[in-house]
A and B are shown apart, each in its own frame.
Chain A
Amino acid sequence: MRLPATGAVRLLALLAAVLCVVTLSARQLAPLPDLVVVVLIAVGLRSGVASGLGWGLAAGWLVDLVPPGGAVLGLQALVYAAAGALAGACHRQGRVSVAWIGLLALVVGASVEASHILLGLAAGAPVDGTASGLRVALTASTAALLVPVLLRLEGLLLRRGLA
């Protein structure tokens, strides 16, 4: 079965997002935006809840498997599946304003950070609210810049019949 071009582009985008985050952090660039959330917002806005949820699962598994990986295998898959579904719930036909993308990224990014904070608190570990807040703000700003580009790319693939 041939993988549609959009599927391949999404998979590559998610892989690139995960690799960017783990390798840029090693260069002591922090905090970084959650690039996985940025890609999931593009997927959810374009394709709806089911696609957002499915690609969120895939993204979370990548986060867990790309070294050094997550503490508990599969947990990030569930967190990002919920994020993808949330992004997909805001699926719209036609053009989407940058402000709406930024707001959606703020909500989805905050939900992912809230999941991480809850997991940290459940383990009894101290949490850094300031870093989390900064990460959410960076994610929203990055999504406002990158999501329109990703949406245009998918639109181009659709018009050329590659999707």
Chain B
Amino acid sequence: MSGRRPRRVVLTAVILLTAAAVLLDLGRTGWASQLRSAGATALGPVISRLGPSRDDELTGARLTAARAADTTRRQSQGTAASRHLADLLASPSLTGARLVAARVVAVGAQGASGPQRVTLDVGSRDGVTPELSVVTADGLVGRTVSVAPWTTDVLLVGAADLTVGVRVGSAGDLGMLGATSTSPRAPRELSLALVVQGSVRAGDVVRTLGSPSGRPFVAGIPVGVVASVDDARGQLGATAAVRPVVDVTSLDVVAILLTGPRSTPRATTTAGAP
């Protein structure tokens, strides 16, 4: 009996410390990122080895879409990863983009809403930094959040704490796209809220609005297609259900877009000049 009391005290202390850790992480104090980095640095190489096998085309290379387009034309057959890479590099929305090809090697514990985070087999030694867009040939996958020397964690579109600024349809109406919603949604459907009343219709393509310096999101990347528009009675702006263009449950080869601040000044022009 005397041995049980110290164990209970220790367990109680650990539970309280864990609860405090949860509150600190919810308060975005930043301490959690250091702990995650330590875990990723220690276990990232193990996970990379245990993950799907790597192709030579994906081994830490920086490719430009223009240079690799010749390679993809010569490739008529190949592994599934090679085909995914070929599709990625031939994607019109990525033409001219600098990117790092990567493979998904781990998927986070799936909550009731599906996967929230994945780990890629590239890291800081491959030029990856936090707050970069991650894409496939179909569209946006998410953004990089935690970067270790050899692995990178990605927060997926559809995660509860990821919201993307978007433009909708041909009119380019502004809106916010996320997983949280007050209206009922089908599993893995996203919720679109327009900033002002607009003319959103089922079938409209939703693309990223873009962020300053393209971080975390580059402008113009497809994110989803409007599945249905909610009844707008009593609401300030229209809301809609959006079906993501990327199926995050079947991710394999992805690309991290390497964007940085604009280095050349924008040319000025004179209004009304012929």
The answer, yes or no, to whether A77 is at the interface (CB within 8 Å) is yes
**Are A125 and B26 within 8 A (Cβ)?**
no
A126 contacts which of B18, B187, B250 (Cβ < 8 Å)?
B187
B residues lining the A interface (CB < 8 Å): 4, 7-8, 11, 14-15, 18-19, 21-22, 25-26, 32, 35-36, 38-40, 43-44, 46-47, 50-52, 104-119, 146, 148, 151, 153-154, 158-161, 179-182, 184-189, 249-250, 252
Return chain B residues, CB-CB under 8 Å to A116: 111-112
**Are B110 and A30 within 8 A (Cβ)?**
yes
Closest 3 CB pairs of A and B: A124-B180, A25-B107, A128-B187
15 other contacts beyond A22-B106, A128-B113, with CB at 8 A cut-off? Answer: A19-B47, A22-B107, A26-B52, A26-B105, A27-B51, A50-B4, A57-B14, A69-B108, A70-B109, A73-B36, A74-B19, A123-B161, A124-B181, A127-B113, A132-B112
CA distance A133 to B166 in the complex (A): 34
Return chain B residues, CB-CB under 8 Å to A89: none
**Are B187 and A67 within 8 A (Cβ)?**
no
CA distance A119 to B179 in the complex (A): 13
Interface string of A14-38 (1 = CB under 8 A from B): 0000010111011110110000000
The answer, yes or no, to whether A141 is at the interface (CB within 8 Å) is no
**Are B51 and A26 within 8 A (Cβ)?**
yes
**Are A123 and B25 within 8 A (Cβ)?**
no
Return chain B residues, CB-CB under 8 Å to A72: 22, 25-26
A-side interface mostly: helix
CB distance from B147 to the nearest CB of A (A): 11
CA distance A26 to B201 in the complex (A): 35
CA distance A57 to B11 in the complex (A): 9
CA distance A60 to B22 in the complex (A): 12
**Are B51 and A53 within 8 A (Cβ)?**
no
B15 contacts which of A57, A127, A132 (Cβ < 8 Å)?
A57
Nearest-neighbor residue (CB-CB) of A20 within chain B: B50
Total residues of chain A contacting the partner, CB 8 A:
49
The answer, yes or no, to whether A76 is at the interface (CB within 8 Å) is yes
**Are A27 and B39 within 8 A (Cβ)?**
no
**Are A22 and B25 within 8 A (Cβ)?**
no
CA distance A46 to B185 in the complex (A): 43
CB distance from A74 to the nearest CB of B (A): 4
Q: Which of B104, B160, B179, B252 has the largest number of chain A CB atoms within 10 A?
A: B160
Return chain B residues, CB-CB under 8 Å to A23: 47, 50-51, 105-106
B11 contacts which of A54, A69, A77 (Cβ < 8 Å)?
A54
The answer, yes or no, to whether A162 is at the interface (CB within 8 Å) is no
**Are A26 and B106 within 8 A (Cβ)?**
yes
CA distance A128 to B185 in the complex (A): 10
Return chain B residues, CB-CB under 8 Å to A73: 21-22, 25, 32, 35-36
CB distance from A84 to the nearest CB of B (A): 11
The answer, yes or no, to whether A63 is at the interface (CB within 8 Å) is yes
Return chain A residues, CB-CB under 8 Å to B106: 22-23, 25-26, 66-68
CA distance A147 to B223 in the complex (A): 43
CA distance A123 to B4 in the complex (A): 38
CA distance A145 to B184 in the complex (A): 38
**Are A68 and B52 within 8 A (Cβ)?**
no
**Are B118 and A26 within 8 A (Cβ)?**
yes
**Are A127 and B187 within 8 A (Cβ)?**
yes
Task: Knowing A70-B109, A73-B25 are in contact, say whether A19-B50 is a contact too (CB < 8 A).
Answer: yes
CB distance from A48 to the nearest CB of B (A): 10
